[in-house]
Amino acid sequence: MSNLARQICFIHPTTSFLQVDYPEIYVADFSERTKMSPHKRSVEITDYNQMAPDGGTLMDSAAIHNDGGLSLEFSLLHDTLYTSTITSNNQHCEGCFYLENDANRKWMVFFELKDCLPENISKHKRKAKKQIENVVKDFNGHSLIDGLKLFGIISCPRKKVSFNDTILGDMFAARAYKRRTGITLYGTNEVFVMNENNIRPVI
């Protein structure tokens, strides 16, 4: 476990931690589809695309391509247990991932999944942005992310066509958002981890 992961767990002791070096990583949020089930599930990270709870189809998931097999760490924040002394409310994104190697870390990705119908993504974009912003503000307040390039990913796994413009608007809105928050934001279901220096969302 990296020093960064330890610090996150110290500040938020209920954080779930996972270290992986899979070439293909799938992130799925089962919360909505299991909320009426006695076997409730939340965000899960695997090296294969899982079956949906109904068992009939594959789960709609976000994909992270890690062809170089870099060692990544995921910190997952729990809905009912996350509390922040920095932000005005406890709304937060699902979590974040980053390089395990403290010395080589250049970037950090904060992600939020919306397992909603494709036509409803525009209804959720404002809240999703705020959830990411809150965690970035929280981590900044604890000096966890100084000097890192910050990326935000809003994923709508059920939407099979590009929706980046739906999330961001035009390029001027995207630039204004980055100036205000320090976050390079994308709406996408697919990300390539290029190397220790950068990622490349598929938009």
Other CB atoms within a 10 A radius of the CB of residue 46 amount to 16
Tell me the pLDDT band of 86, cut-offs 50, 70 and 90: low
Tell me the pLDDT band of 6, cut-offs 50, 70 and 90: very high
Tell me the pLDDT band of 88, cut-offs 50, 70 and 90: low
pLDDT: which is higher, 85 or 117: 117
Tell me the pLDDT band of 9, cut-offs 50, 70 and 90: very high
Residues 6+ apart with CB under 8 A from 173: none
Domain ranges within the chain, ordered by starting residue: 3-201
For residues 52-65, give the mean pLDDT.
Answer: 95
Mean pLDDT of the chain: 93
Is the pLDDT confidence value at 34 over 60? yes
- Reduced to 3 states, what is the DSSP secondary structure of residue 53? coil
Tell me the pLDDT band of 91, cut-offs 50, 70 and 90: confident
For residues 16-43, give the mean pLDDT.
Answer: 95
Model pLDDT for residues 98-144, shown as the tens digit of each residue: 999 999 999 999 999 999 998 999 999 999 999 999 999 999 999 99
Model pLDDT for residues 64-73, shown as the tens digit of each residue: 999 999 999 9
